[in-house]
A and B are shown apart, each in its own frame.
Chain A
């Protein structure tokens, strides 16, 4: 069966520090992968998606970047965090049947 791992679960980082969040999927190959952000009390905003290794599409201009160095690995990064980067970050993959399966999320607080 397919599983998705996302870490860390919580993170507190100072403004201006770098960020690296990792997501890996097991049990499937060539999945569509997604990064979403959920600001406190708000909906899910699609940040990046990837249909294959090295293929990244950005939905919203921002202080973040994404990379997909391996088929089942998706990384969200920032060189210098801003206060506005705080939020709940969710990684997801799409199965052939269409529904997305989410990781447990990373709660990022920038201080």
Chain B
């Protein structure tokens, strides 16, 4: 069964600090997708990134970067030079590619990031 673990419940940093959000996943499939979403105080989930299991290249998008390591089943998210606007709950999610066409998207419990000025 698929499972996502985000062990960090809440992280507090001061603006301009770098911060890494951890995500560990479990799956029996060899083909799967990993995602990160941001949930600001407004509540709506905002898609940040998708990574498939065959692509272990790390990705950088502005101040955001992602480190995907299949050997440790981890997909960690780093924010460089954090800003107050980064304050939100961040969710990691996993989807197995099933032959029936349905892909169940399972979320971790989320990490609340608080960035203070």
* A interface residue numbers (CB < 8 A to B): 32, 34, 36, 42-44, 46, 49, 51, 57, 59, 88, 90, 92, 94, 97-105, 107
Q: CB of B35 within 8 A of chain A?
A: yes
CB contacts (< 8 Å) of B108 on chain A: these are: 43
Chain A interface, >50% SS class: strand
**Contact present for A43 and B110 (CB under 8 Å):** yes
* B interface residue numbers (CB < 8 A to A): 6, 33, 35, 37, 42-45, 47, 50, 52, 91, 93, 95, 101-110
**Contact present for A32 and B103 (CB under 8 Å):** yes
Tell me the complex Cα distance, A90–B91, Å: 14
Smallest distance from the beta carbon of A106 to chain B beta carbons, Å? 9
CB contacts (< 8 Å) of A103 on chain B: these are: 44
CB contacts (< 8 Å) of A51 on chain B: these are: 101-102
**Contact present for A42 and B109 (CB under 8 Å):** yes
Q: Knowing A102-B44, A102-B45, A104-B44 are in contact, say whether A43-B91 is a contact too (CB < 8 A).
A: yes
